[in-house]
Amino acid sequence: MTAIPVSVVVMTRNEAANLPRCLPALARFAECFVVDSGSDDGTPDIARSHGARLVSFLWNGRYPKKKQWCLDTVPFTYDWILFVDADERPTAALVEEIARLMAEAGAGGPLHAAYWIDGRPVVRGRSLRFGCWNRKLALLDRRHARFPEQPDLDIAAMWEVEGHYQPQIAGTTGRLHHPMDHEDAKPPSAWFERHNRYSDWEASLRSDGRMEHLIDGEPDGHSGSIPYFRLIGRRAQKRLFQRLPGRPLWAFLHAYVLRLGILDGAAGLDHALARAFYYWQVGLKVRSAAQVRESSVHSLSVHTVSRSSRPTLSVDDSYSSSSAIRSPPNAFSRSKVRLRTPGSSIR
């Protein structure tokens, strides 16, 4: 069987629980790189045992972050790159679809410069048929793609991997019909710890307008399967959802009712509730930051009137690494499952 002329990138940091499921699903691709950030749980040995090429990555705290660093640095043989998280597995149908896409492409390559791929959640071993799946530009031509440098280095919870945003594509985008399964073999505590940090990042960007800038720079294609949503576009959907009051409730209703997650039984309910809980976290942290900002403005006014020394907290400090938007220490942040610079991409 002819190898698929695509280079696969799996980014890792302590992913020994997931790699044995992920790497066998990538066997048909011509080359696979595991880009590892100092794992100490046996991840490098697992990567080598499955024939992957191991590349070490050490983040310097600046841009480029890990995905763009891979595009710039990893010695790829091929121009087409497939980004796969360690807790993801391309389905057999998706692998075959990519093989056909590459085989049928003419001398100029595939029709589009990048392709959206749906992520199908797997909850407690059950693949969800309905509910709210994620979608990302995971298959791309590295000559026409670049991950933008977002102003998020000040956020305490941010780390080495690009956040919840898509690469910028010089060209058109398409969409593949078959999904990647998304199933984390780690315990639920890893999910809570990870999404606690994700919500820190999103709340910080929403609090001062940076999220609007991020949305403006994203590709505006393949926004959904519901006709009304396709009409208003992906960016418009994100702007609308950002302004909705009661976002946790709408996130739940969207996944559980509108997208028929109720038909997936208890797994569908768990997934819809998890989405609602995430957006509740974001909202709580945004409100907390606003309260800190108002308090600092009031403190500034009092100190100005009294001709006192400068205030101990400035307006901008509400978005610094020491602000109230940062999640307090808890059992999840002390977990050894994920530390400050995890290798799995943000979702």
Q: What is the pLDDT of residue 307?
A: 57
Q: What is 4-185's CATH number, 3.40.50.300, 3.90.550.10, 1.10.357.140, 3.30.530.20?
A: 3.90.550.10
The confidence score (pLDDT) of residue 206 equals 87
Type of residue found at 157:
A
What is the rounded distance in angstroms from the CA atom of residue 81 to the CA atom of residue 97? 15
Burial class of residue 281 in the structure, from the number of CB atoms within 10 Å of its CB (0-12 exposed, 13-18 middle, 19+ buried): buried
Predicted confidence at residue 231, as pLDDT, reads 47
Mean pLDDT by 10 residues, the chain (347 residues): 95 97 98 97 97 97 96 98 98 98 88 97 96 96 95 83 91 97 96 93 87 73 49 67 85 96 97 97 92 79 59 42 46 38 40
Q: What pLDDT score was predicted for residue 253? A: 96
Give the per-residue pLDDT at 322: 37
Return the pLDDT at 303.
64
Q: DSSP code of 106? A: B
Residue 187: per-residue pLDDT: 95
Domain boundaries, the chain: 4-185, 213-319
What is residue 223's predicted lDDT score, i.e. its pLDDT?
Answer: 47
List the beta strands (DSSP E) in the chain.
4-12, 29-36, 53-56, 80-85, 88-90, 114-123, 126-127, 134-141, 145-146, 168-169, 173-175, 180-182
Which residues are CB-neighbours of 119 under 8 A, at least 6 positions away? Answer: 88, 133, 134, 135, 136, 179, 180, 181, 182, 347
Output the pLDDT for position 327: 53
- Look at residue 278 in the predicted model and tell me its pLDDT: 96
Token look-up 């600046």 returns: 62
pLDDT score of 342: 39
